[in-house]
Amino acid sequence: MRRTPTGPTAPQAHRRTGAQGVRAGEVPDPEVGADDVPVRIRAASINPLDRMIRDGEMKTILPYRVPFVLGNDLAGIVVEVGSAVTDFAVGDEVFARPDKDRIGTFAELIAVHRDDLAIKPATLTMEEAASLPLVALTSWQVLVERAHVQPGQKVLVHAGSGGLGTVAIQLAKQLGAHVATTTSTANVHLVKRLGADVVVDYKKQAFETVLHDYDVVLDSLGGETLEKSLDVLKPGGQVISVAGPPDAALGRELGANPVVRLVMSALSFRIRRRARRRNVSYSFLFMKASGDQLRKLTPLIEAGTIRPVVDTVFPFESTREALEYVEAGRAKAGKVVVKMP
């Protein structure tokens, strides 16, 4: 790959709260290691994680040095392969959630480790494919790897019309679960079409008063919703959160030092204690990049068992506006995607 002092214009985070903390700038072409696959990005999607990273809410876990390029999902075309790469070729259409240490999909080029990359599902457009990696991997890691959901079990997926919720409902149904979800009045029919057996309109009902004896709750909201989720579980049930306080297990998983692990344990002490008193469990999940898991999900996607839900597609030059659109709560359902030129 031709090396240049400066490369594509990319929206960079400068650690200021709000979308005003993001501005366009020139970035170098990515360095390419033996196991790397440089990809020309055709589309990327926006996740709540982008806002959290930009505003420094994840700095204990992800201590990025500013300025840095945001973006955690991509679909694109392979333009080169590292010397040790044999499973991808120039011209392959691919999708991925890059490793946490190599984010930056709001750009024209990125180098992805081959283990984190997968061939794009043939049935999807680039925009649809870009909407899936982070939420599909999170759903898989919560429901399959962590919860080991079995046919007949009862699963509650919060915020069923969101990016994560729309995929998690579909995957839970594929696993044979009885699925409940929470959503607004406007999206009741959408989540039913995705497979939800029970829909709680949070504008009309309190979910904790109508749902009981659930095996698993996937929490993507934290706060009071997380606290109340403990009340809908049966003994031995589990809440797995991607929005609640981190726990010591995450610190060990990330190889954090003892002080950081102690801080994480303290942050989640209250919710873990309350869970134990109810004979249920709480854990926090920070998803990992995995090309292998994306390949396991691809047959479900190509068969239409898991269908992407895309709210709006913005042009690349409007990435900041896309972030503002998401943060203002204007997205009606599913993911917001940025399309590259």
pLDDT tens per residue, the chain (341 residues)?
Answer: 333 333 445 666 554 555 555 556 677 788 899 999 999 999 999 999 898 888 887 777 777 777 789 999 999 999 999 999 999 999 999 999 999 999 999 999 999 999 999 999 999 999 999 999 999 999 999 999 999 999 999 999 999 999 999 999 999 999 999 999 999 999 999 999 999 999 999 999 999 999 999 999 999 999 999 999 999 999 999 999 999 999 888 888 888 888 888 988 899 999 999 999 999 999 999 999 999 999 999 999 999 999 999 999 999 999 999 999 999 999 999 999 999 98
Q: How far, in Å, CA of 226 to CA of 151, rounded?
A: 24
pLDDT for 127 equals 98
Domains annotated on the chain, with CATH: 9-131+308-339 (3.90.180.10), 134-284 (3.40.50.720)
Whole-model pTM?
Answer: 0.92
pLDDT for 10 equals 65
pLDDT for 1 equals 34
pLDDT for 21 equals 54
Q: Could you tell me which of 98, 6, 110 has the C-alpha nearest to residue 53?
A: 98
- Report the chain's terminal Cα–Cα distance, integer Å: 20
pLDDT for 3 equals 33
Check: CB of residue 38 under 8 Å from CB of residue 111: yes
The first and second tokens of residue 190, run together, are 């959408």
